[in-house]
């Protein structure tokens, strides 16, 4: 039977990074993936430019049943460490906003860097390989479409459930259960929210309208980022971020003008443009289509000067404290990540090894650690892959 020191399941961000680290320790590493190409999510990430890390990594920017779990990996392998690799590879980069680092050129450069480093470290990549099973037998035996492989360490890096069209499967979760690890319920994260009924009727005609900065809140979480109206509801970074915190049945509140006191602004404008339609005045602050839609909804016809104080207060509340009840999300079809996953209570935070199954590791998105939008999820993939790669 073929043998290896380490078999990595999944040639995504975490799996490839782990393979490089283990290979550099002179371990014989084989990386298996059923896809035709490695790192497909890296390739399409960040609009093709890969938001490969974030300079403001902090544990509270990760969701997990145990938010402290990620700290060990994230503090030992930092955003600066990954940035140093990007620079050493000669990949030009820039900070877009909020600490988010992107390639100037193409995300493909990151995939190529990982492939080069894997080859240099002697790690072998086998694509279009199905994984039929995993059993313990003198170490582990991985059953694959190319035959069985005996190995001392298995690193599960098969990612989450999002975007099944790109090769996502539930394999990692199944393997975790087979080996007795607990799972935290999975659900789509960083995903557009959908609406029904009267809410949808209001939102649909606004599809395509963008608000550069809105404050979206759900429970204690809140984000000030761009918001986008879609045919089925709301999207844009602020909505994707809040979607990870939202649970079915919860309302979200939206302030379309954070940092502005709209009631006071409108009062001041009465003197200046009192004869203008309310919608025209509101369009000084919001996209025109949105301003008109809100005024129509509230029945605010007539001039700004004609409006009662109560009517303007109602308008300000509608703009700055808009309550909405999402009906659902676009689901795994478009979600950027999967929340939940392998329960961190069953993993060693330092090594990512299963506490009760020596030699079995889980890294990346399959684990119950999910970052905010903005490079956090790749940093988790690199950091957890790095940690496992030091010991597997």
Contacts with ligand FDA, residue ranges (CB under 6 A)? 10-15, 33-35, 40-41, 44-46, 50-51, 131, 157-159, 162-163, 167-169, 171, 336-337, 364-365, 375-378, 381
Give which of 111, 56, 54, 75 is closest to 375, Cα–Cα. Answer: 54
Give least dist CB 375 to ligand FDA, A: 4
Give least dist CB 361 to ligand FDA, A: 12
Give least dist CB 256 to ligand FDA, A: 26
Give least dist CB 205 to ligand FDA, A: 27
Give least dist CB 13 to ligand FDA, A: 4
Of the two residues 340 and 364, which places its CB atom closer to ligand FDA in the complex? 364
As a dihedral over the C-alpha atoms of residue 373, residue 378, residue 379, residue 384, rounded to 10 degrees, the angle is 130
Give least dist CB 287 to ligand FDA, A: 26
Of the two residues 164 and 274, which places its CB atom closer to ligand FDA in the complex? 164
10 Å Cβ neighbour count for 327?
15
Nearest-5° Cα angle at 25, 101 to 384: 40
Give which of 38, 37, 3, 36 is closest to 17, Cα–Cα. Answer: 38
Length of the chain (residues): 392
Of the two residues 147 and 274, which places its CB atom closer to ligand FDA in the complex? 147
Of the two residues 287 and 371, which places its CB atom closer to ligand FDA in the complex? 371
Give which of 207, 16, 33, 224 is closest to 123, Cα–Cα. Answer: 16
Give which of 151, 157, 160 is closest to 358, Cα–Cα. Answer: 151
Of the two residues 257 and 367, which places its CB atom closer to ligand FDA in the complex? 367
Of the two residues 237 and 375, which places its CB atom closer to ligand FDA in the complex? 375
- CA Rg value for the chain: 24
Nearest-5° Cα angle at 317, 316 to 318: 90
Give least dist CB 127 to ligand FDA, A: 9
Give least dist CB 113 to ligand FDA, A: 15
Give which of 356, 359, 388 is closest to 181, Cα–Cα. Answer: 356
Of the two residues 129 and 307, which places its CB atom closer to ligand FDA in the complex? 129
Cβ burial of 120 (10 Å; 0-12, 13-18, 19+) is exposed
Of the two residues 291 and 381, which places its CB atom closer to ligand FDA in the complex? 381
Strand partners, 223: 216
**Residue with the closest Cβ to ligand FDA?**
12
Going by the DSSP 8-state scheme, the letter that residue 113 receives in this structure is: H
């Amino acid at each position: 039977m073929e043998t290896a020191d380490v078999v990595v399941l999944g040639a995504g961000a975490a799996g490839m990074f782990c393979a490089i680290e283990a290979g550099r320790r002179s371990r014989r590493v084989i990386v298996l993936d059923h896809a035709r190409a490695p790192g497909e999510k890296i390739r399409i990430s960040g609009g093709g430019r890969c938001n490969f890390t974030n300079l403001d990594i902090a544990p509270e920017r990760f969701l997990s049943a145990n938010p402290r779990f990620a700290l060990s990996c994230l503090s030992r392998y930092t955003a600066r460490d990954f940035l140093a690799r990007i620079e050493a590879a000669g990949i030009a980069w820039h900070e877009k906003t909020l600490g988010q680092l992107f390639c100037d050129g193409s995300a493909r450069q990151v995939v190529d860097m990982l492939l080069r480093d894997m080859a240099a470290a002697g790690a072998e990549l086998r694509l279009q390989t199905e994984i039929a099973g995993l059993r313990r037998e003198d170490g582990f035996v991985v059953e694959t479409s190319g035959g069985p492989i005996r190995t001392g360490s298995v690193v599960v890096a098969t990612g989450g459930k999002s975007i099944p069209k790109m090769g996502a499967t539930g394999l990692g979760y199944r393997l975790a259960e087979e080996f007795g690890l607990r799972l935290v319920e999975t659900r789509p994260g960083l995903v557009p929210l959908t609406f029904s009924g009267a809410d949808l009727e209001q939102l649909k005609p606004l599809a395509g309208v963008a608000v550069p900065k809105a404050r979206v809140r759900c429970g204690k979480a809140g984000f000030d980022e761009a918001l986008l109206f879609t045919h089925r509801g709301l999207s844009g970074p602020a909505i994707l971020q809040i979607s990870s915190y939202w649970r079915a049945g919860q309302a979200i509140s939206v302030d379309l003008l954070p940092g502005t006191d709209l009631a006071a602004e409108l009062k001041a404008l009465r003197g200046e443009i009192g004869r203008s339609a309310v919608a025209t005045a509101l369009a000084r602050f919001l996209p025109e289509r949105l301003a008109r839609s809100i005024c129509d909804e509230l029945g605010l016809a007539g001039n700004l000067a004609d409006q009662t104080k109560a009517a303007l207060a109602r308008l300000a509340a509608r703009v700055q404290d808009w309550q909405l009840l999402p009906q659902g999300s676009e689901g795994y079809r478009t979600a950027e990540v999967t929340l939940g996953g392998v329960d961190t209570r069953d993993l060693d935070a330092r090594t990512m090894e299963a506490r009760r199954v020596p030699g079995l590791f889980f890294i990346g998105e399959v684990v119950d650690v999910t970052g905010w939008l903005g490079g956090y999820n790749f940093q988790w993939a690199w950091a957890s892959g790095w940690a496992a790669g030091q010991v597997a």
